[in-house]
């Protein structure tokens, strides 16, 4: 089942709202780019993962990370 993530992306943090279509539950999570492991958070998801976030000048590293994990941005 697909997992949909909506990300409010800032230079030092992300606020994430995500939904696993298998259970329909909406969850919230906040990541601090300097303290939390962003890769570990997104790597926990298996299957199709679709991540939506606003375009900004500081997001190329995040797009690359998602592509490395096989997720759609």
**Residue in the block written with tokens 């096989």:** 70
How many CB atoms within 10 Å of residue 9? Answer: 19
Residue 50 near residue 4 (C-beta atoms within 8 A): yes
**Residue in the block written with tokens 């303290």:** 35
Provide the residue-wise pLDDT of the chain in tens; the chain has 73 residues: 899 999 998 888 999 999 988 899 999 999 988 767 899 999 999 889 999 988 777 788 889 999 999 999 8
pLDDT at 55 (0 to 100): 74
pLDDT at 33 (0 to 100): 84
Which of 45, 43, 37, 42 shows the shortest CA–CA distance to 53? 42
């Amino acid at each position: 089942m697909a997992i949909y993530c909506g990300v409010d992306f800032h230079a030092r943090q992300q606020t994430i709202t995500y939904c696993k279509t298998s259970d329909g539950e909406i969850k919230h999570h906040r990541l601090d780019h300097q303290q939390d492991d962003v890769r570990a958070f997104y790597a926990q998801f298996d299957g199709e993962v679709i991540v939506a976030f606003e375009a900004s000048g500081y997001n190329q590293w995040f797009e690359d990370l998602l592509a490395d994990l096989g997720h759609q941005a």
